């Protein structure tokens, strides 16, 4: 591609398994806010499969937002809004409300403050019963991590000491203090999890 579109092999691999879970989690209509949309490939795929929803991509990276905009220009989806500059850790987001919030492969590739901000933002925006969907690798207490996740965690921390695979119980406890209840955990390919919280 000669334009600003980025492409992620991981996004192409995991988009259909994620979509299968989203079909059972998302409402039939309303606005879905994606935090840390990255290349934009996920949201384009999800929006095509779930046309009854309005999709709002976002990313704090100029490069990512340019990629998302380029994907929108190329694909011309009718139900995806222009990307927003949203820093998950900020106290205020340029979004008034959302019926669902997604964050795919964000929690481990960002400081803990970003996860806390994500949870707080979802709590502010979601209606009662609205879902927050997270995807990625997680620690599960004393349960040993897969070798691939141990290596991935070490690589993340070498790149940035504030990054790393989080303990799901710690994330769930933080969510609970903000009115988000853990609804379900779905085992996914490549030692990842889909984690769904619901606004009380």
Task: Give φ, ψ of 158 to 5 degrees.
Answer: -70, -35
Element containing residue 28 per DSSP (H, E): none
What 3-state DSSP class applies to 12? helix
Domain spans in the chain, listed from the N-terminal domain onward = 9-199
**Contact yes or no for 165/134 (Cβ under 8 A):** no
Using 50, 70 and 90 to split pLDDT, how confident is the model at 1? low
Distances (CA, A) of 62 to 43, 50, 85, 86: 17, 27, 8, 11
Mean pLDDT, residues 65-70 taken together: 98
pLDDT at 2 over 90: no
> How many angstroms separate the CA atoms of 182 and 14, rounded?
22
Give the count of alpha carbons within 13 A of 178, CB side only: 23
Q: Give long-range contacts, CB 8 A cutoff, 24+ apart: 151-156.
A: 153/108, 156/108, 156/109
Name the class of domain 9-199. Answer: alpha beta
pLDDT at 73 over 90: yes
> How many angstroms separate the CA atoms of 53 and 28, rounded?
7
Mean pLDDT, residues 82-109 taken together: 97
117-149 confidence digits (pLDDT tens): 999 999 999 999 999 999 999 999 889 999 999
11-56 confidence digits (pLDDT tens): 999 999 999 999 999 999 999 999 999 999 999 999 999 999 999 9
pLDDT at 87 over 80: yes
pTM of the prediction?
0.97
For residue 86, give the nearest of 108, 68, 71 by alpha carbon.
68
DSSP per-residue letters across 82-139 = PPB---TTSS--S-S--SEEEEES-TTSS-HHHHHHHHHHHHHHPPTT-EEEEEE--B
143-188 confidence digits (pLDDT tens): 999 999 999 999 999 999 999 999 999 999 999 999 999 999 999 9
> How many angstroms separate the CA atoms of 200 and 191, rounded?
29
At 194 the pLDDT is: 98
């Amino acid at each position: 591609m000669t334009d600003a579109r980025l492409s992620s092999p991981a996004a192409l691999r995991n988009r259909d398994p994620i979509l299968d879970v989203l079909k059972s989690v998302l409402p039939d209509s309303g606005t879905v806010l994606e935090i840390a949309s990255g290349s934009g490939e996920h949201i384009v795929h999800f929006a095509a499969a779930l046309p009854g929803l309005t999709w709002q991509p976002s990313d704090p990276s100029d490069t990512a937002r340019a990629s998302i905009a380029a994907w929108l220009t190329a694909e011309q989806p009718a139900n995806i809004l222009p990307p927003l500059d949203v820093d998950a850790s900020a106290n205020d987001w340029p979004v008034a409300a959302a019926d669902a919030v997604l964050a795919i492969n964000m929690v481990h590739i960002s400081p803990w403050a970003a996860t806390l901000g994500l949870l707080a933002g979802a709590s502010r925006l979601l209606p009662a019963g609205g879902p927050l969907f997270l995807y990625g690798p997680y620690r599960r207490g004393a349960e040993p991590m897969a070798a691939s996740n141990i290596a991935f965690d070490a690589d993340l921390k070498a790149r940035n000491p504030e990054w790393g695979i989080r303990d799901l119980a710690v994330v769930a406890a933080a969510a609970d203090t903000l009115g988000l209840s853990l609804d379900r955990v779905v085992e996914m390919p490549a030692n990842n999890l889909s984690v769904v919280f619901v606004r009380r």
